[in-house]
């Protein structure tokens, strides 16, 4: 034992030191690579309003280490779709443009709006803040559009309407038409908010049409989306592509029914009349894109239904 301690151990130490000396660069590179490895991102469970649906523009993901621009879009979609209030992920060293792409997405309100349109209304955000560190750490804070109090009140009203209006033997088409007609019959377009953004009603959310009886296009669309989710019908919201100055923003529903994606616009089916009377139309009820173009060619040319086929390819040439 004494011979081992006096001779063998010092010899082993010399061998190790010699190995380190001659391979110092290789060892250094491996240590650096290990230190650069991203921390493991552990995602919390999603809330009850998570949509399991994937779309062409964005998909749910379990991989929070992005390697492309589209991966970042999927991360933003997933964390908002899951209802997270905060989330942190990391840009890998091999993705050289990662922080630049994150900055591009987070600073573009139009892209964020497009992401928002594919999730459940209750998980839609009013504001999303992204902080990018020099090390590649991405911290996201999400402020959601609907308060807990609003959700409770709206859910009670939704259940009340379903219990009074929907029967088991109805087809999906009949269910959608029943809710379409109910919302329009019980809602007026909020002209004041549309004209000067000043209104006594929360008409830009589902609370407006379902509780207060007033809505703008986003209120109509959210209200309809809530029922579509209850029916288990795949859907998303479509936003106007703002390519020209004379086109105002608009939003409506896209509905997947009988193997086809169709347009559903409650706002334009609830026109503001000159005589003050309430009207219920079905001009924009479950129509394909070709029919939408024809419907917009009336006496008044409608430009608000111009949408990006890059964002919403499901609706492209679906005649």
41 lies in the same domain as 87: yes
Q: Which domain holds residue 58?
A: 35-145
Count up the domains in the chain and report the number: 2
Global pTM? 0.85
Q: What is the pLDDT of residues 97-122, one digit of tens each?
A: 999 999 999 999 999 999 999 999 99
Which of 112, 145, 178 delimits the end of a domain? 145
Residues in the chain, pLDDT under 70? 1-38, 243-247, 273-276, 317-319
Contact 219, 205 (CB under 8 A): yes
pLDDT for 248 equals 76
153 lies in the same domain as 101: no
204 lies in the same domain as 257: yes
In a domain, residue 127? The reply is yes
pLDDT for 6 equals 58
Q: Is 307 exposed, middle or buried (0-12, 13-18, 19+ CB in 10 A)?
A: buried
308 lies in the same domain as 161: yes
Coil, strand, or helix at residue 141? strand
In a domain, residue 196? The reply is yes
In a domain, residue 129? The reply is yes
177 lies in the same domain as 283: yes
In a domain, residue 5? The reply is no
179 lies in the same domain as 258: yes
Kindly report the CATH number assigned to the domain that includes residue 166: 3.10.620
Nearest-angstrom CA–CA distance, 197 and 221: 18
203 lies in the same domain as 247: yes
In a domain, residue 24? The reply is no
pLDDT for 42 equals 74
Give the orientation angle of helix 217-230 with respect to helix 172-185, to 10 degrees.
Answer: 150
pLDDT for 232 equals 97
Which of 117, 145, 173 delimits the end of a domain? 145
Which of 130, 145, 160 delimits the end of a domain? 145
In a domain, residue 20? The reply is no
Nearest-angstrom CA–CA distance, 226 and 113: 18
Nearest-angstrom CA–CA distance, 34 and 154: 50
232 lies in the same domain as 206: yes
Nearest-angstrom CA–CA distance, 94 and 101: 14
Listing DSSP states for 65-110 in one string gives: S--SHHHHHHHHHHHHHTT-SEEEEE--TT-TTHHHHHHHHHT-HH
In a domain, residue 26? The reply is no
State phi, psi for 89 to the nearest 5 degrees.
-135, 175
166 lies in the same domain as 274: yes
253 lies in the same domain as 111: no
106 lies in the same domain as 178: no
Alpha helices per DSSP H over the chain: 2-3, 9-22, 24-36, 69-81, 98-106, 109-116, 148-165, 172-185, 191-196, 207, 217-230, 289-295
In a domain, residue 23? The reply is no
309 lies in the same domain as 166: yes
């Amino acid at each position: 034992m004494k011979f081992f301690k006096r001779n063998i151990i010092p010899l082993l130490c010399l061998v190790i030191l010699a190995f380190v000396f001659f391979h110092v660069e290789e060892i250094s590179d491996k240590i650096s690579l290990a230190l650069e490895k991203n921390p493991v991102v552990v995602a919390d469970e999603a809330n009850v309003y998570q949509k399991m649906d994937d779309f062409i523009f964005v998909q749910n993901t379990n991989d929070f280490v992005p390697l492309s621009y589209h991966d970042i879009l999927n991360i933003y979609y997933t964390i908002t779709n899951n209802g997270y209030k905060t989330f942190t992920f990391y840009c890998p060293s091999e993705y050289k443009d990662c922080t630049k792409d994150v900055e591009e997405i987070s600073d573009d309100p139009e892209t964020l709006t497009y992401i928002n349109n594919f999730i459940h209304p209750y998980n839609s955000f009013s504001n999303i803040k992204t902080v990018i560190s020099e090390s590649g750490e991405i911290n996201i804070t999400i402020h959601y559009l609907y308060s807990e109090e609003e959700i409770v009140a709206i859910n009670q009203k939704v259940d009340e309407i379903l219990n009074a209006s929907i029967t088991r033997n109805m087809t999906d088409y009949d269910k959608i038409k029943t809710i379409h007609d109910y919302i329009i019959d019980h809602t007026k377009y909020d002209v004041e908010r549309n004209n000067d953004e000043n209104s006594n009603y929360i008409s830009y959310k589902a609370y407006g049409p379902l509780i207060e009886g007033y809505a703008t296009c986003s209120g109509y669309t959210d209200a309809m989306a809530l029922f579509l989710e209850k029916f288990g019908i795949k859907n998303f919201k479509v936003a106007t592509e703002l390519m020209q100055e004379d086109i105002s923003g608009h939003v409506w529903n896209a509905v997947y029914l009988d193997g086809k994606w169709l347009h559903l616009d409650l706002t334009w089916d609830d026109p503001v009349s000159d005589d003050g009377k309430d009207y219920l139309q079905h001009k924009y009820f479950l129509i394909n894109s070709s029919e939408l173009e024809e419907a917009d060619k009336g006496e008044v040319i409608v430009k608000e239904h111009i949408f990006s086929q890059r964002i919403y390819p499901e609706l492209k040439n679906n005649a």
